[in-house]
A and B are shown apart, each in its own frame.
Chain A
């Protein structure tokens, strides 16, 4: 074994001693520690038990780091859920829309309920802690490190298989090329060798670098396209790569369909029907118009009798009273509530017993029911025409009932005299 001052090309960086058993390594480590060296290390294919003591390695602080990141993860999980699900009702108008919370109301459950949030809090905690463990371990070990003077030694390759090494750095204050070499030789190594600067730091192979650069630049394209789409406007319709329900299998107008005897996919009109939107043959009854003018009368097929007014009252109470009120004063419960909540944009329903509606022609009111008016929704598809006329009769009755003169009422029905 060579115990003379080691010869080495370039500056001497470290001395490396090789051992072939766990026992020899631990004994050697104890000796080097006792000799007072500080900048040295041992290397082994697996964690050797007892080596920490033999080398005097202090306990790592990694667990604290993990603990702190676990707490951060816990807080993140909690805040994330609170912010995204429970703050929609709070006023954070000054934030950009995409950062504001959303008010999730589900089955009337509370917006923020800790029990339901525990699973996600737990997962985020574990996630943060695990990432901190992995990255913290690497960072504390100063890894990854692609180039290391140890890799210059051919023998050192066996450190990941079956050999054990002690490496003393030349920068150690106690280092002295000859003395240290002697110390190592006395520990019973199978080999001692000097380590120098690597002649040239290992370079990545050319192909790998090029491939890496190409992949990295290609990877930039999708985010760039996304950013462009996000920041610009286009007059074209949205691209729909998958035609959800936009494009269905169905017969088009002039196609043949052999399910029918005449093989026409486009079916002729069934006798006695009219197509949607076509004019009806009785504008008085169906539109409330004669010669383009609103009618003041009721159409001939509508008889205003006590029973038809009753019918009208019943329909009115169902369809109109929620807004216009049972008495037609424009004070229905929907409106009352909207006013109480101060709903923006709410227009109070017109008082049907007021002068405005009193002066409206029957045809006009018929038209309002059928098609709605500004904020009033249409009821044409819910109330058949005869019922619409019945409602109008009832509205007229309401109007009468609320502006009667004494003279209009037969004497024998005056309330105070009954």
Chain B
């Protein structure tokens, strides 16, 4: 059985030696035990209960707010003319953006053969699903007459009316629901072998049947694995363009309109970079507490955190570039409305939101240039939290500044959120965390089968052991030696 590791720094690259992705001398048995222990524990840690109580309370608040909204109409929000969109669409774009990192980690890193993804992909995918649920909720409740929401789908009806397929808002419906479904399939497909592990470890009849049902009768057959791996690869290959398309389509909601500050071609790549940025921040926000809470430090190692921080830094720079580019294009266009809105963003009534965004998304992430911050879990956590805040404000700034001051000064107006707006936003976090905490408790938190494939024991060594009788699995040979790393680190200037 593996020891529980304190923080071992495995972020250095030693030439000729593969950096271990699983620490603490784990073997297949102990990896399975460690991950299943979260589920098998009679009681989850106390922190789980506290978090769950808060999350469920917020979820109830969300339910109440939606009920209040349905019975009173969208007037209970701070929306007005010209601000037809406010917190609703801000929250939608915020959550759907978070929902992108999961598939990015699972699909794009998978295609790039980035093995470190295995420690965090299950998390990230779950996060995606729950974030997309939160995201999908906002457009659904913002339509006013929610009971007519089915009008967005092409369902044959007695009015002989169909949705208008030339509207970006309808593209959104298709993009987000396809994304939801494909992410769900991807998540579930990857989870089948791990659900089978839970089935095989079930201690009660009920657990056996429920997890048996979910595992679909998986036996780990190599013939099945063969097709499974193909299917997984294909799903990754499908999800990769999908993830890029979804946020591009979300950005079309703005870019296709004629409003200054929205009508720019930079929006699709800018939104996608922002989504990855915000999404990685959320993965860090979830992974860092969870790994200490559930004893997964050996599987989600400092190297994972370090890598995620690097992605965060890179995408943060892209986002910063986009902010700069917005000013450039508005100036270069020579369009007085465009340059007005750029100035209004930085200096107008929402300047405080704009500068919060710049501080959180551009300034604070620069701390990640320092290795010391990246390898310190709580340092990384703090930066990730800042980015979470910053990315919310980014969407708020984009939406509200452009709307509140459009072409005609006589129709300008300021958006002020009501208490319903604020509580609905808080409630959406309740929904997200309730689902996430349930996931932590009842589903395999780390992709066990996948982690096993990146362990040294999984590589074929039978060439070195000509006769199976002599094959003694030597655990030590693959063991990670922290001293060696320390020595190497000291050599570095």
Residues of chain A from 245 to 287 with CB closer than 8 A to chain B in the complex:
none
Question: Which listed residue, A85, A146, A165, touches B164 by the CB 8 Å rule?
Answer: A85
CB of A166, distance to nearest CB on chain B (Å): 10
CB of B462, distance to nearest CB on chain A (Å): 3
Residues of chain B from 163 to 190 with CB closer than 8 A to chain A in the complex:
163-166, 168, 170-171, 174-175, 178, 181-182, 185-186, 188-189
The range of chain A's interface size is: 35 or more
Q: A119-B245, A136-B231 are in contact. Are A161 and B32 (CB under 8 A)?
A: yes
Question: Which listed residue, A21, A60, A106, touches B227 by the CB 8 Å rule?
Answer: A60
B471 contacts the other chain (CB 8 A): yes
Q: A145-B216, A159-B200 are in contact. Are A137 and B227 (CB under 8 A)?
A: yes
B71 touching A23, Cβ below 8 Å: no
| Alpha-carbon distance A262/B248, docked complex (angstroms) | 62
The range of chain B's interface size is: 35 or more
Question: Which listed residue, B27, B70, B467, touches A242 by the CB 8 Å rule?
Answer: B70
| Alpha-carbon distance A85/B163, docked complex (angstroms) | 8
Interface centre among B32, B228, B450 (most CB of A within 10 A): B228
Question: Which listed residue, A43, A60, A62, A100, touches B222 by the CB 8 Å rule?
Answer: A43
Residues of chain A from 42 to 71 with CB closer than 8 A to chain B in the complex:
42-52, 55, 57, 60, 62-63, 66
- Note all chain B residues with C-beta closer than 8 A to A109: 166
CB of B155, distance to nearest CB on chain A (Å): 9
Q: Which of chain B's residues has its CB closest to A19's CB?
A: B468
- Note all chain B residues with C-beta closer than 8 A to A188: 467-469, 471
A130 touching B181, Cβ below 8 Å: yes
B468 touching A133, Cβ below 8 Å: no
A22 touching B182, Cβ below 8 Å: no
A44 touching B217, Cβ below 8 Å: no
A24 touching B197, Cβ below 8 Å: no
B209 touching A99, Cβ below 8 Å: no
| Alpha-carbon distance A205/B213, docked complex (angstroms) | 12
Question: Which listed residue, B168, B222, B249, touches A44 by the CB 8 Å rule?
Answer: B222
| Alpha-carbon distance A188/B471, docked complex (angstroms) | 9
| Alpha-carbon distance A55/B154, docked complex (angstroms) | 48
Query: Interface readout for B224-254 with A: 1 if CB under 8 Å, 0 if not?
Result: 1111111100110011011001000100100
| Alpha-carbon distance A133/B181, docked complex (angstroms) | 13
- Note all chain A residues with C-beta closer than 8 A to B164: 85, 104, 106
B221 touching A43, Cβ below 8 Å: yes
- Note all chain B residues with C-beta closer than 8 A to A156: 219
A51 touching B222, Cβ below 8 Å: yes
A242 touching B156, Cβ below 8 Å: no
Residues of chain A from 142 to 158 with CB closer than 8 A to chain B in the complex:
143-148, 150, 156-158
Question: Which listed residue, B28, B158, B160, touches A45 by the CB 8 Å rule?
Answer: B28
- Note all chain B residues with C-beta closer than 8 A to A120: 165, 170-171, 174
A141 touching B223, Cβ below 8 Å: yes
| Alpha-carbon distance A129/B160, docked complex (angstroms) | 30
A126 contacts the other chain (CB 8 A): yes
Question: Which listed residue, A60, A84, A97, A124, touches B162 by the CB 8 Å rule?
Answer: A84
Residues of chain B from 433 to 466 with CB closer than 8 A to chain A in the complex:
448-450, 452-453, 457-462, 465
Q: A85-B162, A120-B170 are in contact. Are A43 and B220 (CB under 8 A)?
A: yes
Question: Which listed residue, A27, A133, A158, A241, touches B462 by the CB 8 Å rule?
Answer: A27
B70 touching A126, Cβ below 8 Å: no
| Alpha-carbon distance A145/B459, docked complex (angstroms) | 30
Residues of chain B having any CB pair with chain A under 8 Å: 27-29, 32, 70-71, 145, 147, 154, 156-158, 160-166, 168, 170-171, 174-175, 178, 181-182, 185-186, 188-189, 193-194, 196-197, 199-201, 205-206, 209, 212-213, 216-231, 234-235, 238-239, 241-242, 245, 249, 252, 448-450, 452-453, 457-462, 465, 467-469, 471, 473
The 7 A-B pairs of least Cβ separation, nearest first, read A23-B462, A188-B468, A84-B162, A162-B28, A144-B216, A137-B231, A145-B217
23 CB contacts below 8 A, A to B, read A21-B457, A21-B471, A22-B462, A43-B221, A45-B28, A45-B448, A47-B228, A51-B222, A52-B226, A57-B226, A63-B230, A66-B234, A102-B162, A106-B164, A117-B166, A119-B171, A126-B238, A141-B224, A144-B217, A157-B201, A161-B197, A162-B27, A187-B468
Residues of chain A having any CB pair with chain B under 8 Å: 19-24, 26-29, 41-52, 55, 57, 60, 62-63, 66, 80-81, 84-85, 97-102, 104, 106, 109, 113, 116-117, 119-120, 122-124, 126-127, 129-131, 133-134, 136-138, 140-141, 143-148, 150, 156-162, 165, 187-188, 204-205, 208, 241-242, 244
